[in-house]
Amino acid sequence: MFDRLTIVKVGGKVVEEAESLKAFIKDFANIAGQKILVHGGGRSATAVAEQLGIQTKMIDGRRITDADMLNVVVMVYGGLVNKNIVAQLQALNKQAIGLTGADLDLVRAEKRPVADIDYGYVGDVTGVNTEALEELVKSGVIPVIAPLTHDGEGQLLNTNADTVASELAKSFASSFRVQLVYCFEKKGVLENPNDDDSVIPYLSREIFEEHKVNGVISDGMIPKLDNGFNALSRGVSDVFITNIEGVKNGFKEGTRLSLR
């Protein structure tokens, strides 16, 4: 029987607002068993970039990362957001360590090749060092991972946090019973984007593809769900999309993904 490992990716307004982040961290800390936290912080990066006079460009929910924007996301993700989360976990007597993909060679990536779109210094994951992380989680330490990767040749890369969480989940699926959770401000995946109560409790890959075509699911939700379904197809036991209340209630609320 494999041990359970819960990997939570938190993003959106939950990370950006002090009170919601504090509430989330308390509920996350109470999740039983071994766990890893992956965080975003895109709105904070956008705000800092604006203060510095750096334009933010997004395509289909993904950030274009030129050299100036890379400096911003490294500062915000790897510094401000990451260490704030670590400090709050320590305040709850939870041993935590803040990491990026470059630390301990945790997550390697390659710069995304230019096709129709030049994403700049955006990395596509090529490997995860599960051995280093496994030692941490089994010793009771909570890794808090910023979505920054590296190419093994000294270049940092910005990588979608949903993707980092999915890749970690897939890498641990052979040695743990992994549940992957995406937590943000909405209750789950919505059938009607204008109705916060129109949560789809179960979402199959087939229905997801239909909703993409008809526009029900769009923008940043698409890569999130792509990553979730990809994780399921590679041995991850459960994938949930939920909010703080869903985390607090043991993932009984929100959207559960299913391959069928």
The angle formed by the CA atoms of residues 157, 163 and 168, to the nearest 5 degrees, is: 100
Specify whether the CB–CB gap between 250 and 188 falls below 8 A: no
Q: Is the pTM value of this prediction over 0.85?
A: yes
Please state, in angstroms and rounded to a whole number, the distance separating the CA atoms of residues 101 and 103: 6
Per-residue pLDDT of the chain (260 residues), as tens digits, is: 579 999 999 998 999 899 999 999 999 999 999 999 999 998 899 999 999 999 998 876 678 999 999 999 999 999 999 999 999 999 999 999 999 999 999 999 999 999 888 999 999 999 999 999 999 999 999 999 999 999 999 999 999 999 999 999 999 999 999 999 999 999 999 988 889 999 999 999 999 999 888 888 887 788 889 999 999 999 999 999 999 999 999 998 999 999 88
Please state, in angstroms and rounded to a whole number, the distance separating the CA atoms of residues 124 and 151: 10
Domains of the chain: 4-258 (3.40.1160.10)
Please state, in angstroms and rounded to a whole number, the distance separating the CA atoms of residues 163 and 223: 8
